[in-house]
Amino acid sequence: MKITFWALSGLINGITSTALGLLVYYKNRKNPTNITYSLFCLSVSIWSYSYFFWQVSSDAKSALFWCRALMAGAIFIPALYFHHICALLNIRSQKKKLLILAYIFCGVSFLFNFTPLFVKSVSKKLWFEYWPDAGIVYSPFLIIWSLLSCYYIYTIIKFLNNSIGEKKNQLRYILVGTVLGWFGGITNFPLWFNIPFPPIGNILLSVYIAIVAYAIIRYRLMDIKIAVTRAGIFLIVYTFVLGIPFVILGRTGSGLLATTLAVIFATMGPLIYRFLQRKAESVLLTQQRHYQKILLQAALGMVTEHNLNKLSRLIVYILRKTINLNFSAIFISDKKNQLYKLEAIQNRDNSDKQDININEEHPFIFYLKKNREPFFFEEMPVYIKSSFDLPLKPRIIIPAFAGSDLLAFILLGEKSNTQHYTEEDINVFKILSRQAALAIQNCIFFEESKDAQQRMFSAEKLASIGGMADGVAHQIKNRLNQFSMASGELKLEIEDFIAKHDKLINNDQELNKTFSYLKKIAVSLIENVKKTDGIIKGILDFAKVEKKENFFTVFSLNEIAGLSYNLLMIKHEISALPITIKIDDKDIVYGIKSQLTEVVYNMLDNAYEAIQEKKMIVGKKEPETFIPSIELRLTHTQDRQVIKISDNGIGIKEEDKHKIFAPFFTTKSSYKSGSGIGVYVVKRIVEENHKGKIWFVSAYMKGTDFFIELPKNQ
Amino acid sequence: MAQKEVLAMKILVVDDEVEVVNFLCVFLNRLGISAEKAICGKEALEAFRNNRPEWVFLDIKMPDMDGLEVLKKMKEIDPNIKAMMITGRNDESAQNEAQALGASDYLMKPIDLDNLRKKIEQYILTKG
C-alpha cells in the first residue's frame, strides 16, 4: 500500500467532513440548516474515504469497487448541498419541486452506479494506476450534476445581493467556500475523459467544508475582506519565506546557506505577516476604525455629564451619528416601578419618543442579565426573539452593568450602508457599555446626592428658622405688650375723661365727635394688637408643634370653609370669591378643627392670591379670557379623607416647587400680606399633628392642585 | 371710676420694662390701688422687705433674676403673699411652676387691661 498525496487528500477530506458534519449537527440538532449540512458532509465523507481506499487499491477489481463506492457518495453531493442552501436561505418550500427532482436524479444515478454504464472500468492515466473510465450515462449525469451546482451558486449570489449586514457577510463566506469546493471537485473529472489534468484541487474540498461550517456555526463572522486578505498575505509571505531557501538550495546546492536563510526567514515571517496584515486592515477598515475611535473618545467624555436624561440623549446621538444607524435607543432601569424605560431614542425621521417600558420580569431582560456582553439580536433563542414585542427592530443590544445590576441597555439598528457589525465593533461596544454604565451610575449618584443636599439644607433651614422665630416672636411680643397697655390706657383715659366731663362733651357736638373718634382709634389699636398677637401665636405654636390628640373631633368642611370664606372677604376687602365646594360623599372631616380651619383658610388664601396674580398678568391684556375659579373638594376612601384645593391661577414655577413648604418662602407681591409662613404651617399641621400627607401638582400659568390627605378616625 | 374709694391695699409691680411698670401703676391707681414699682428682681425684693405689699405683679422673664426665683424668696419672707405672674404665652412649664410656688393667677402678655380689670375685681376688690 502506497500512500500518495492524492490518497492523503481523500483521507483529509474524509476526516474533515466527518468531524465538521458531527460538530455542526450537535450544535443544533433541530435546525434544518445544520441537519442538511451534516447529510451533505456524510456524502462527502463517503466519497472521500472511498477516494482514499481507491487510491491505495493494489488491484483493478478493488479499485473499481471503491470507484463505484466513491460515486455513490458523490452523486448525492449537489442535491444535499442544494437542500442545505435552501434551508440556509429559508426557501425550502419555494424550491420544493426542484429539490424533489434533484433527489430523483440522484436516485436514478445511484441505480446506474451499480452498472458499468456509469463507471465502465479502471485504467492507467498519468501516474494513476487505476483511474476510472466514464460509462455512457456518466456524461449526462455530470452535465446535470454541474448544472445543479451552477444553479445553487447562482441562488447564493442572488440572495447575497439582496441581503444586508451579517447575513450578507455569511453568504459571502458560503459563496467563497462553495466556489472553492466546486473548482476543487471538478479537477477530478478531466481524467475520466482522458484529459491529462491531475485532480490537484481535491484537497480544496476540506477548505470548502470548513468555510461553510464556520459560516453557519458562528454568527459573528470576521469581515470576509479581512479573512481573504489575511489568507492571501499568509500564503504569499510563507511561499516566499519557505520558497526562497528551496530555490537557493536548488540553484547553489549549498545546504548551509539554505538552512541559514530558512532560519532567518522563518523568524521574520510572522513579523512580515503581521506588519502587512496591519497595513492592509488599516486600509480596509479606515471608516470603521474612524468611528470606533470617535466612539471611544465619546465614551470617555460621558462621565462628565451629570444629568441622566441629557446623558441618555448624548449616548444615542453619538451612536447614531458616528456609526450612521437607522436608529439607536437607550432604556434605563426604573427601580421604583421595576421596569426599563425608554429614556432616549434617535431615528432617521426624528419621530417623537414614545413611552416604551419593558418589565424587569421580561425574558429579554433575563437574557441580558445572563449574557452581560453586547450581542446580536439574531443570537437570542427563538422564544425570546418572538417575545420581544417592541416596535423597534434592533440588530445589536448592548447591556450596561454596574456589578450585577443591569442599569441600562442600548439598542442599535441597521447601519445605513447595510454594512455588517464586526467583532471589532462588538469590542468597542463592550468598552462603550462599561463607560456608559459608569456615567449612568455617576448621574444617579449625582442626582441622589443633590436631593439629599436639598433635604439637608431645608431641614437645617427649618431648625435655624424655628429657633430664630422663637426669639423674634418673643421680642415682638414684648413690644406688643407695651402697645397693648398703652392703647388700653389710652382707652381708659378717654373713657374716664368722658365720664368725668360728660356734660361738657355731650353739649359740644364737635368735642363729642372728637372724643368718640379718639375712643374708636384706641379700640382699633387694641384690636390690632390682638390680631398681631394672634399671628405671633401662630408662629410660636408651630415653631413648637405640640401634640393635641385630645382635640380631635368630627366637623363639617362646609362650616370651616364658610368661616375661611368670610375671613378672606374681610382680608381682601372683597364681596365675593369664585369658590365652589364639592363634597363627594359625607360632609364630615375628622381632625383638629381650629387647625384645619387654619389649613383651609391658608390654602384658600393662597389660591386667591394665585388667581389675583394671574389676573394681573393675563387679565390686563384680555380680561374676558380668564375666568378665575377655586375649587374645594372633599373625598373619602376607606380610611382616608382627601381635601383638594384647586385653582386656575398663576401656578408654581418649576424652580420654586421645592421651596413651597419652606418657612418664610413667599412669591406673593409684598404689598399684600404674605409672611411665607402659611404653607409651612399647613404642612406641619397636616403632617405632624394629623399624621397626614400634603402634596401638590402645579404648572406655571395653568394653576395648582393641593392635596391634603388625612387619616380617618380608626 | 373706682379711684375715689382708695383701698388700704398695696401692690408691688415688677417688670424689667419701665413703660410697662408705669402703665400698670397708672392703671392700678386709676382703680384706687396704690402701687409700687420695681424694674428688677433685686429692687423688687428690697421694696418687698420695706413695704410688705399684699399683692405682687411679677414678670417671669427678667434679666437679673427669674420671676419665679423672686417669688420663691418672697414666699420665704411672707408665705401669705399673693402673686399674679406676668408671662409670655409659650412657657407653660413656667406657668405650672409658678402655680406650684403658690402664685394665684397669671397675666398673658400682651396685657389686655380690660381683662386685668376683671381679674382685679375678682381677686382684690371683691375681697374688700
* Reported confidence tier of residue A467, pLDDT bands at 50, 70, 90: low
Q: What percent of chain A has pLDDT over 90?
A: 14
Pairing of strands A630-636, A579-583: parallel
Collapsing DSSP states into helix, strand and coil, what is residue A565? Answer: helix
Give yes or no for a contact between A603 and A595, defined as CB atoms under 8 angstroms apart.
no
Alpha-carbon gap, residue B74 to A562, rounded angstroms: 52
A698 - beta bridge partners? A704
User: Which chain A residues contact residue B17 at CB under 8 A?
Assistant: 478, 481-482
Residues A382 and A416 in one domain: yes
One domain, residues A33 and A65: yes
The values of phi and psi at residue A128, to 5°, are: -95, 130
pLDDT in tens, A71-126: 999 899 889 999 999 988 888 888 899 999 999 999 999 998 888 888 888 888 87
Give the CATH number for residue A660.
3.30.565.10
Considering the domain architecture, whether residues A600 and A667 belong to the same structural domain is answered as yes
Strand partners, B55: B11, B82
Q: Is the pLDDT of residue A246 over 60?
A: yes
In this structure, the answer to whether residues A432 and A470 fall within a common structural domain is: no
Handedness of CA B45, B51, B53, B56 (dihedral sign): negative
Beta-carbon count within 10 A of A202 CB: 24
Q: Does some domain include residue A125?
A: yes
pLDDT tens digits, chain B, 128 residues: what are they? 444 455 678 899 999 888 889 989 999 988 888 899 999 899 999 999 998 898 999 998 888 888 889 999 999 999 889 999 988 766 677 778 888 888 888 888 888 888 888 888 888 776 54
Could B110 and A483 be called an inter-chain contact, meaning their C-beta atoms sit closer than 8 Å? Answer: yes
Q: What is the pLDDT of residues A491-529, one digit of tens each?
A: 888 988 888 888 888 888 888 888 888 888 888 888 888
pLDDT in tens, A328-340: 999 998 888 888 9
Asked whether the predicted pLDDT for residue A145 surpasses 90, the reply is: no
CATH of the domain at A397: 3.30.450.40
Between CA A167 and CA A156 the distance in angstroms is 11
The three cell numbers of residue B74 are 418672697
A10 domain residue, yes or no: yes
**Residue A180 and residue A234 share a domain:** no
pLDDT computed for residue A42 by the predictor: 93
Query: Is A134 a domain residue?
Result: yes
Residue A473 has pLDDT above 50, yes or no: yes
Residue A214 has pLDDT above 90, yes or no: no
CA distance A525 to chain B (A): 12
User: Which of residues A222, A248, A271 is at a domain's end?
Assistant: A222
Domains in chain B, CATH or no CATH each: 8-125 (3.40.50.2300)
Q: Do A536 and A425 share a domain, yes or no?
A: no
Q: Does A612 lie in the same domain as A521? A: no
Q: Which of A526, A543, A560 is the last residue of a domain?
A: A543
- Test mutation, A474, A475, A484, A500, chain B, max B CBs within 10 A: A484
Q: Is A234 helix (H, G, I), strand (E, B) or coil?
A: helix
Cell of A616: 394681573
Contact A485 B113 (CB under 8 A): yes
Q: Is residue A181 located within the same domain as residue A92?
A: yes
- Same domain, residue pair A189 and A268: no
A299 and A385 in a common domain: yes
pLDDT confidence of residue A351: 63
Confidence at residue B2, expressed as pLDDT on a 0 to 100 scale: 43
From the list B22, B29, B20, B23, the residue with the least C-alpha distance to B1 is B29
Assign residue A13 the CATH number of its domain: 1.20.1070.10
Instruction: Please identify, among A449, A481, A504, the residue that sits at the C-terminal boundary of a domain.
Output: A449
For residue A347, what are the CA distances in angstroms to A320, A344, A350, A408, A668? 8, 10, 5, 19, 45
Per-residue pLDDT band for A459 (boundaries 50, 70, 90) equals: low
Question: Could you say which of B1, B30, B111 has the minimum Cβ distance to residue A484?
Answer: B111
Which residue, A623, A611, A621, is CA-closest to A577? A611
Query: Is A257 part of a structural domain of the chain?
Result: yes
For chain A, the domain total comes to 5
Average pLDDT over residues A247-255: 75
Domain housing A654: 549-711
A contacts of B87 (beta carbons < 8 Å): none
A454 occurs within a structural domain: no
Residue A31 falls inside a structural domain: yes
Of B27, B90, B114, the CB nearest to A544: B90
Surface of B (50-109) touching A: CB under 8 A: 88-90, 109
CB contacts of B32 in chain A (<8 Å) are none
Q: Do the chains contact at A496 and B27, CB–CB below 8 Å?
A: no
Is the pLDDT assigned to residue A62 strictly greater than 70? yes
Q: In which band, very low, low, confident or very high, does the pLDDT at A352 lie, cut at 50, 70 and 90?
A: low
Structure confidence at residue A454 (pLDDT): 67
The reply to whether A196 and A85 lie within a common domain is: yes
The reply to whether A63 falls in a domain is yes
Position A360 scores a pLDDT of 87
pLDDT computed for residue A434 by the predictor: 83
Q: Does residue A705 carry a pLDDT above 90?
A: yes
pLDDT tens across A263-305, in order?
887 788 788 888 888 888 777 777 777 777 777 777 777 777 7
The predicted pLDDT at position A38 comes to 92
Confidence of residue A671 (pLDDT cuts 50, 70, 90): very low
Q: Provide the mean pLDDT of chain A.
A: 82
Q: Are residues A572 and A698 in the same domain?
A: yes
